[in-house]
Amino acid sequence: MPRTRGAWTPRRAPATVRASAELELPTQPTRPGTLITIEGIDGAGKSTQVDLLAAHLGARGHHVVATREPGATPLGHELRRLLLQSEIALEPFAELLLFLADRVEHVRRVIAPALAAGAIVLCDRFSDSTIAYQGYGREADVARVRRWDEESRAGITPDLTLLLDCPVAVASARRRHATDRYQSLDPAFHQRVRDGFLALAALEPTRVRRVDASRDVAGVRDEIERVVGTWLEERRR
CB of 112: closest distance to ligand TYD in angstroms? 17
Identify the residue among 129, 152, 157, 161 touching ligand TYD (CB under 6 A): 129
CB of 134: closest distance to ligand TYD in angstroms? 6
Identity of the residue numbered 97: L
| 42 lies in the binding site for ligand TYD (CB under 6 A) | yes
Nearer to ligand TYD, 30 or 95 (CB): 95
Residues 159, 115, 24, 50: is their CA dihedral positive or negative? Answer: positive
Considering only 5-13, 28-36, 62-70, 114-122, which stretch makes contact with ligand TYD by CB under 6 A? 62-70
| 39 lies in the binding site for ligand TYD (CB under 6 A) | no
CB 129 within 8 A of CB 200: no
Total length of the chain:
237
| 189 lies in the binding site for ligand TYD (CB under 6 A) | no
Nearer to ligand TYD, 125 or 153 (CB): 125
| 93 lies in the binding site for ligand TYD (CB under 6 A) | no
CB of 233: closest distance to ligand TYD in angstroms? 29
Residue whose C-alpha is closest to residue 127's, from 108, 105, 148: 148
Identify the residue among 99, 136, 189, 197 touching ligand TYD (CB under 6 A): 99
| 69 lies in the binding site for ligand TYD (CB under 6 A) | yes
Binders of ligand TYD: how many residues, by CB under 6 A? 15
Nearer to ligand TYD, 33 or 71 (CB): 71
Considering only 17-25, 68-76, 112-120, 221-229, which stretch makes contact with ligand TYD by CB under 6 A? 68-76
Nearer to ligand TYD, 117 or 173 (CB): 173
Identify the residue among 49, 130, 152, 157 touching ligand TYD (CB under 6 A): 130
At 164, give phi and psi (nearest 5°).
-80, 105
Which residues are registered as beta bridge partners of 161? 37, 208
- How far the first Cα of the chain sits from its last, in Å, is 61
Question: What's the rounded Cα separation, in Å, for the pair 50 and 66?
Answer: 7
Sites of contact with ligand TYD (CB under 6 A): 42, 46-47, 68-70, 84, 99, 124-125, 129-130, 133-134, 182
